[in-house]
């Protein structure tokens, strides 16, 4: 708000050169995400996957995914986006899973894994030798909503799934686990409807982070900044020539 008030004052009262700068400042503030362009990194997660080797549903009380009741039979595609905020050390994402087979257990396309802006995942962000990496911060919950499961299985609300491990490199690969691999608690839980058989899921998500292009209006703003600089240099050149 203070930035917009300052821009308004410049536009209304400042000299011509400052009025132009004020108009430009106002336009930058009006571009969604432009003010945070240097701190929020957005990535496409399309074409990435949930890995079969470390993804399974295990009977409650058994180590998962090493003792699976229903193991993912092949790598399964994901689509969606992931964002990293370097100022608050948080990560958000909204990923959608294709149909999957866990042996005799089928999972329809459309399952989602979401860490929303209102409840982001806490991470640790470090930069060394020009490489920025992301690791697991404090325990963070996520929302996992499974699409239609094979009858008679259905999702329960017994446990709140959380990220138990993160290892990502900006501009490279990214991998994280939803659910606790050993105990199977705080996982995505399903039941067969009997009231006695429950299974905790662990999901291994991995892929390559592909940077999302700048907002459509931002290149126009940057171009305007360049034109403003050119105009200022020309005015200075004319003024010098008249002396």
Q: What is the pTM of this model?
A: 0.72
Mean pLDDT of 44-52: 83
- Report the pLDDT value the prediction gives residue 106, as an integer from 0 to 100: 95
pLDDT for 26 beyond 70: no
Please report the pLDDT score of residue 56 as a whole number.
Answer: 96
The answer, yes or no, to whether residue 9 has pLDDT greater than 80, is no
Q: What is the pLDDT of residue 18?
A: 40
| Rounded Cα distance, 158 and 165, in Å | 21
pLDDT greater at residue 49 or residue 35 = 49
- Residue-level pLDDT at 5: 46
Instruction: Determine how β-strand 188-191 pairs with β-strand 210-211.
Output: unpaired
Domain boundaries, the chain: 1-37, 38-211
Query: Is residue 171 predicted with pLDDT exceeding 70?
Result: yes
* DSSP string of 170-205, one letter each residue: TTSEEEEEES-TTT--SSEEEE-SSSS-EEEEEEEE
- What DSSP string runs through 63-130? -TTTS-SEE--S-EEEEEEEEEETTTTEEEEEEEE--EEETTEEE-TTEEEEE-TTSPEEEEEEEETT
Q: Of residues 112 and 171, which shows the higher confidence score? A: 112
- Tell me the pLDDT band of 235, cut-offs 50, 70 and 90: low
Q: Does 190 have pLDDT greater than 80?
A: yes
Query: Can you tell me the mean pLDDT for 143-168?
Result: 91
Of 102 and 4, the one with more pLDDT = 102
- Looking at the predicted structure, is the pLDDT value of residue 21 above 50? no
Specify the pLDDT at position 17. 46
Neighbouring residues of 176: CB distance < 8 A, sequence distance ≥ 6: 136, 163, 165, 166, 167, 168, 205, 206
Residue 231: per-residue pLDDT: 52
When mean pLDDT is compared over 12-26, 38-52, 57-71, 174-188, the highest value belongs to 57-71
Tell me what pLDDT residue 89 has.
Answer: 92
> Which residues face 115 on adjacent strands?
93
The per-residue pLDDT for range 203-225, each reduced to its tens digit, is 999 988 888 865 544 444 444 44
Chain segment 82-130, per-residue pLDDT in tens: 999 989 999 999 999 999 999 999 999 999 999 999 999 999 999 998 8
């Amino acid at each position: 708000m203070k930035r917009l008030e300052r821009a308004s004052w410049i536009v209304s009262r400042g000299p011509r050169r400052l009025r132009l700068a004020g108009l430009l400042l106002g336009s930058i503030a009006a571009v969604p995400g432009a003010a945070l362009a240097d701190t929020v990194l957005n990535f496409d997660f399309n074409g990435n996957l949930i890995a079969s080797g470390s993804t399974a549903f295990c009977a409650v009380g058994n180590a998962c995914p090493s003792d699976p009741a229903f193991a993912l039979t092949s790598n399964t595609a994901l689509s969606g986006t992931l964002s990293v905020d370097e100022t608050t050390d948080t990560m958000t994402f909204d990923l959608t899973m294709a149909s999957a087979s866990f042996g005799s257990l089928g999972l329809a396309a459309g399952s989602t894994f979401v860490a929303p802006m209102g409840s982001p995942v806490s991470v640790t962000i470090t930069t060394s030798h020009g490489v920025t990496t992301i690791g697991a911060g404090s325990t963070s919950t996520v929302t996992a909503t499974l699409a239609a499961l094979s009858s008679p299985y259905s999702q329960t609300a017994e446990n709140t799934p959380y990220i138990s491990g993160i290892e990502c490199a900006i501009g490279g690969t990214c991998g994280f686990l939803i659910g606790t691999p050993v105990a199977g608690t705080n996982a995505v839980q399903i039941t067969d409807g009997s009231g006695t058989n429950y299974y905790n899921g662990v999901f291994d998500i991995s892929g390559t982070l592909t940077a999302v292009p700048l907002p459509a209006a931002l290149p126009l703003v940057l171009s305007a900044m360049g034109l403003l600089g050119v105009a200022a240099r020309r005015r200075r050149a004319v003024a010098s020539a008249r002396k």
